[in-house]
Amino acid sequence: MPISYPPERIASLLPSATEIVRALGLETSLVAVSHSCDFPGRIESLPRVTRTRVPKEAPSGEIDAVVRDCLTLGESLYQIDVETLDRLCPDLIITQSLCEVCAVGPGELSRAIPALRSAPEVLTLEPHTLDEALQSIVEVGCATGRTGEAASLADSLRRRVAAIEARTARRTVRPRVGFLEWIDPPMCGGHWNPELVELAGGCDGWGRAGQASRTLDWEEILEWQPEVLVLACCGYTVERTSRDLALLRERPGFAELPCSRTGRIHVVDGVTRFSRPGPGLVDSLEALSAILGPDAD
């Protein structure tokens, strides 16, 4: 089957790509999305061509154990519905190679591609920083014939980031921030999230910009003495993360941390914020800047 350009039939295997495709005005070109694409409207009715082995409703510690076991054994956490994907005949598939835990990766897709009659183009996104996330918008624009729209969107987002930088540059106090992407066990923010903390006016004592999240020793948390604690558990709503907050409160020394004594503990949505490297990262930055502002509490 000949491939059209710009592509008319797009399959997005991760939410951030779906977000970008929507932002570029190409939602009607989507024929399939991942199981975790939760956007309202037309996307709700689209076929889901990925499945996860992660037990979504299990306790956080159990989820962590399943993920670690799969990674140790070299097994994928996700499956592709090859039959449905083949039936939908996409001419462009967008995937990622950043995180084996977050979404279908290139390995799983490469095993599925030979079974597809449509011989689609594949665009693999791999942003580790905020700037690379914005560059992903440009990459999707180039692959879909929306180069101008993508450049305009990326530029508008960079202007919003610059406005945040200008405001935080005037702040004389930069609080010690603890940013967690998981609670049981505690895992610090990775990739772009430490950068967001710095841009928003805080000092991240655990994460490193552009590097993956890592599991923290409890002593690291106590030594940093965070003045503000931000909980953005990956894939968790505010309600779900709030339930796990009790696990932190049971830890020795947690009640004596500055963030506990002042009440500066903020639970944020880890589903649509902070975990998806798309346009919404700038919304996340603005929300974090408000949390860390001198008059936030």
* DSSP of 35-81: TT---SGGGGGSPB-EEE-S-TTS-HHHHHHHHHHHHHHT--SEEE-
**64-84 pLDDT per residue, tens:** 887 787 777 766 778 889 999
- Range in 12-16, 115-119, 166-170 the model is least confident about: 115-119
Identify the pLDDT of residue 5: 64
10-126 belongs to which CATH class? Answer: alpha beta
What are the boundaries of each domain within the chain? 10-126, 172-292
**Separation CA 141–CA 164 (nearest Å):** 26
The structure's pTM equals 0.90
**20-32 pLDDT per residue, tens:** 999 999 999 999 9
Paired sense of beta strands 30-32 and 10-12, if any: parallel
Question: In which band, very low, low, confident or very high, does the pLDDT at 99 lie, cut at 50, 70 and 90?
Answer: low
How many Cα neighbours within 13 Å face the side chain of 122?
19
Cα separations (Å) of 165 from 161, 197, 205? 6, 11, 19
Identify the pLDDT of residue 296: 52
Region 48-57 average pLDDT: 83
- Residue 51 backbone dihedrals phi, psi, to 5 degrees: -135, 155
Region 174-198 average pLDDT: 96
Topology adopted by domain 172-292: Rossmann fold (3.40.50)
**216-261 pLDDT per residue, tens:** 999 999 999 999 999 999 989 999 999 999 999 999 999 999 999 9
Paired sense of beta strands 121-125 and 187-188, if any: unpaired
| Same fold flag, 10-126 and 172-292 | yes
Query: Of 67, 39, 35, nearest to 278 (Cα)?
Result: 39
Identify the pLDDT of residue 98: 63
**Separation CA 82–CA 87 (nearest Å):** 9
